[in-house]
Amino acid sequence: MSGFGPGDAFLADCPGRLAVELIADKWTVVVLAGLSKGPVRHGDLIKLIGGISRKMLTQTLRRLEAHGLVRRRAHAEAPPRVEYELTPLGATLIDPIHALTEWARANGDAVLDALDAGLEQTAGNH
């Protein structure tokens, strides 16, 4: 109903798999979203995101850097300061991510409803 032509699905070895492998983990999308407004410091990202450990943040950023989506900029100052920002390439990913966010805002409740509708387990507690 909504978009894929006959040959351009997500299957087998299509390029679409690349996108999935790129973002299908716990933090990548969230980190990209955190960078979507401009350069941010490491510590600020930690607070902004909430729940991520320094280890995972650094690890995620490094991966994105290697993929050309994020740029790391270290300033040689007395208290070290490191800022991360999206590359132009990375910025192009924001729109698809934004589409996901919008979807969640619009349909999140429906999903949660379906979820606890399913919580009338096998047990028949009248």
Partner DNA sequence: CCGTATCCACCACGATACTG
Partner DNA sequence: CAGTATCGTGGTGGATACGG
**What is the spatial distance between Cα 86 and Cα 70, in angstroms, rounded to a whole number?**
4
Residue 37: both structure tokens together: 């407004």
Give the interface with DNA as residue ranges (CB under 7 A).
25-27, 41-44, 51-56, 58, 62, 72, 74, 79-82
Shortest Å distance, C-beta 84 to DNA = 8
85, interface contact from DNA, a second copy, none, CB < 5-8 Å by kind? none
Mask for 22-61, x = binds a second copy (CB under 8 A): xxxxx--xx--xx-xx----------xxxx----------
Shortest Å distance, C-beta 76 to DNA = 12
**What is the spatial distance between Cα 45 and Cα 14, in angstroms, rounded to a whole number?**
33
CA distances to 16, 25, 44, 45 from 35, rounded to whole Å, are: 23, 17, 10, 8
**What is the spatial distance between Cα 24 and Cα 119, in angstroms, rounded to a whole number?**
27
**What is the spatial distance between Cα 86 and Cα 92, in angstroms, rounded to a whole number?**
9
12, interface contact from a second copy, DNA, none, CB < 5-8 Å by kind? a second copy
**What is the spatial distance between Cα 92 and Cα 69, in angstroms, rounded to a whole number?**
9
Shortest Å distance, C-beta 63 to DNA = 9
Residue type, 85: E
- Residues lying near a second copy in the complex (CB under 8 A): 1-4, 6, 8-20, 22-26, 29-30, 33-34, 36-37, 48-51, 66-69, 86, 89, 91-108, 110-115, 117-118
